[in-house]
Amino acid sequence: MVKFHFSRKQLCIPYALFLILFVIIPMLLILFYAFTETVDGMIRFSFANFVNFFTSTAKLSTLLMSFTVAIISTAICLLIAYPLAYILARSKFKRKNVLLMLFILPMWINFVLRITALRELLDLIGLLGTQNYLNTIIGMVYDFLPFMILPLYTTLEKLDNSYLEAAADLGGNKFTVFTKVTFPLSMPGVISGITMVFMPSMTNYVVSDTLSNFNITILGKLIDQYFTTYDNWHMGSMISIILLVIIFITMLVTGGFKDGKQEARGANLW
């Protein structure tokens, strides 16, 4: 009889192979496609896509517009979520977890259905078809607000009250205590929330398509178009690389994601 023999370490082999095959190689393929072009059925090395992107007014204005929409959506999310998370986290209410649940519950419901529901509401109040940018921003806020609330709540809830009391004892008024103690201590939550909202707001084209009647092209939509409509996979890959560079810069500026996304996804609530 062959004895079943293994070491625990070897259990990571299937996952390692999976990551190489379906994560690393595909990412390298994007890099390959971005810096090549197909001429007469032959693939050859080229900077044409790179040059094309940065000399095309249409593409650059899409990038700029997408950036603006994402920044405004993220700012609105932060402005709503911070006071809300603060109120929830500092409340004396015994079962504030239940209260929090009410605010983040929709993130587990299919977002296409939720955005379509929002579309119906916007249609009813006459915004659909007239206010494409406004609708897109409302949609991004609607979809991603829970991802901002949750990390903020988590950091604010863990905040040690004695710091705030000490600051107050030392003569800080409420405003000073907030700006000098509370806010700086909640920065990890703020950063985690911003990274969770900003990037999807640039790329989740289901929201912009549904709420602008396909009139607004955000960066994610542009990538989709080069793959499905224009059938130019090289350009689509180049735009993806530019997007990855933006994600990377955001990470450098904000100091990385850590496990924020999992937390914001509410993994610990299950």
Interface of this chain with other proteins, residues 123 to 152, rule: CB under 8 A: 123-124, 142, 145
Q: What is the helix (H) or strand (E) element at residue 39, kind and residue range?
A: strand 36-39
- Note whether 245 binds other proteins by CB under 8 A: no
Query: 88, 142, 138: which is closest to 113 by C-alpha?
Result: 142
- Note whether 97 binds other proteins by CB under 8 A: yes
Map tokens 């991802």 to a residue: 147
Compute the distance between CA of residue 188 and CA of residue 82 in angstroms, rounded to an integer.
13
Burial of 223 (0-12, 13-18, 19+ CB in 10 A): buried
DSSP assigned state of 160: -
Q: Residue 46 Cβ, how far from other proteins at the closest point, in Å?
A: 17
Selected binder of other proteins within 117, 166, 187, 253 (CB under 8 A): 117
Interface characters, 210-239, with other proteins (x: CB under 8 A): x---x-----x--xx--x-----x--xx--
Q: Residue 47 Cβ, how far from other proteins at the closest point, in Å?
A: 19
Q: Residue 152 Cβ, how far from other proteins at the closest point, in Å?
A: 13
- Contact segment (CB under 8 A) with other proteins among 19-27, 57-65, 150-158, 178-186 equals 19-27
Selected binder of other proteins within 112, 166, 249, 253 (CB under 8 A): 112
Integer angstrom CA distances of residue 116 from 18, 66, 129, 141, 264: 35, 21, 14, 14, 23
Residue 207: half-sphere exposure toward Cβ, Cα within 13 Å: 27
Q: Residue 253 Cβ, how far from other proteins at the closest point, in Å?
A: 14
Selected binder of other proteins within 2, 10, 161, 162 (CB under 8 A): 10
